[in-house]
Chains A and B, each alone.
Chain A
Amino acid sequence: MEHNTMNLTLKVWRQKNNKAKGGFETFNVKNISSEMSFLEMFDVLNEQLVAENKEPVAFDHDCREGICGACSMYINGRAHGPWHHNTTCQLHMREYKDGDTIVVEPWRADSFPVIKDLVVDRSAFDRIIQAGGYISVNTGNAVDANSLPIDKQKADESFAAATCIGCGACVAACPNTSAMLFVSAKVSHLALLPQGEPERQLRAVKMVEQMDTEGFGSCTNIGACEAECPKGISLENIARLNREYISAIMDGDSTGA
């Protein structure tokens, strides 16, 4: 692949803390390699800022392999940047040309308050998981693998839902800040498997309740979440969540709902 270097203008959201009023700050970065990842480009920027005795830009990152869900960044109006099925850490600078201006914002949703600069608090997702994203298992020795027969189709669908990394791009991309794609992936992942059966109805109700408590918006089936999801979680999961929720509510007794 052709290698080149570029000079870029970055407009980055800076915000001291949750209470402070944020604003954009413009930076120029030089000699950025086309082989760098977007986050490596930010590392270059931050080294430059540290050398200048300025506060580096805070941003979330962890594995940098596209599988942990830590990185975020809303880049030129797109969650995780312009690439399809991709996280920010896997976005590479070959996407950009010399002289480009890139606007970088944090995920914006009242349920994801900014902690600092580009870092937002996504613990609302953790609380949704705590509300119902668990199963009952017997203690003792681990059961033999494949001792429970599972329909191949269901196993595949469950696995596809389980690939959700909880990055929050669905909320960031949704005009309503709805978390339905995330919740539906977590509910689907367990509802399709026999292991998830005991808490199946309770899970759907509890997780939806917690989602509402956290103040996420309502789903209006726009589909921006599916389009921006780095893991390609399908809207079909939302249809499944709706079925699970409706049947749990109809079946009221077991859920206390």
Chain B
Amino acid sequence: MALTGLFLILFLVVHCYVNAQIFWNDGGKQFNEAAHFMGTNVVIRITEIGLFAFLILHIVQGLMLWAKNRSRRSVKYAVTPGNKVSPWYSRSMALLGTLILLFLIVHLSQFWAPNRFSQTTGNGELDLYARMKETFSMPWVVVVYLLGCFALAWHLVHGFYSAFQTMGLAKHRYKKMIKGIGIAFAIIVPIIFALMPISFSLGCLN
């Protein structure tokens, strides 16, 4: 979970950086240039296969872990401590992950899949900036994306620190720092992502 999770965190950084090019507000020039590079570069294309493999591995491992762990207490407690001894998000990683997966299905079917389809059928790349503008003009899409970012944020609050703990790196000396960076990452990255549909729907980007 930790290794695949950290790889997915790295992917988020790249994805966020590339997509943040829309905020130049130059009608998508910078963004489409970056998107063109990401969509055609051989190294990136090969990494994409790895990304999907890691994503699927992360999902499969996560679901197996969830199924295993919930099967080990056949008789449940009548009274549970709620959030007194552990934060809700640390116990809800499978639920948050499933929400992210549902979001990803919507998200990939709107951008990634049509673009690759167009490329492989010889029609070239799509104008992804125009597509973003069009997609985010629909209010339900904006709501789905905001929910996706919300789930991602809470998933990261626990996941970032947890990955380091699993690999044995959360030593006392670094623990506070890792937790701090994790929380900052879990706030900043989803907010930048959330600002994309918000900016389009509010008409801040032309």
Contact = CB atoms under 8 A, between A and B. Distances in A.
B78 A105 contact: yes
Contact of B171 (A108, A109, A217, A236): A236
A77 B73 CA distance: 15
Nearest to B167: A242
Interface string A153-195: 0000000000000000000010111100000000000000000
B168 interface: yes
Nearest to A177: B72
Given A238-B165, A239-B169, A243-B168, A218 B81 contact: no
Contacts of A77: 77, 79-82, 84
B110 interface: no
**Of B85, B87, B162, B167, which is in contact with the most chain A CB atoms at under 10 Å from its CB?**
B85
Contact of B77 (A74, A219, A239): A74
Interface residues of B, number: 36
A222 interface: yes
Question: Main SS of chain B's interface residues?
Answer: loop
Given A221-B161, A236-B175, A243-B168, A173 B72 contact: no
A92 interface: no
B165 A239 contact: yes
Interface string B150-175: 00000000100110011111111001
Contacts of B87: 223
B78 A242 contact: no
B86 A220 contact: no
Interface in A121-177: 173, 175-177
Contact of A22 (B75, B168, B170): B75
B91 interface: yes
**Of A221, A234, A241, which is in contact with the most chain B CB atoms at under 10 Å from its CB?**
A221
B93 interface: yes
Contact of A109 (B73, B84, B162, B168): B73
B86 A224 contact: yes
A173 B85 contact: yes
A238 B167 CA distance: 10
A227 B82 CA distance: 13
B181 interface: no
Interface of B: 1, 65, 68-82, 84-87, 90-91, 93, 158, 161-162, 165-172, 175
List the 3 closest pairs (A to B, CB-CB), nearest first.
A243-B168, A242-B168, A77-B79
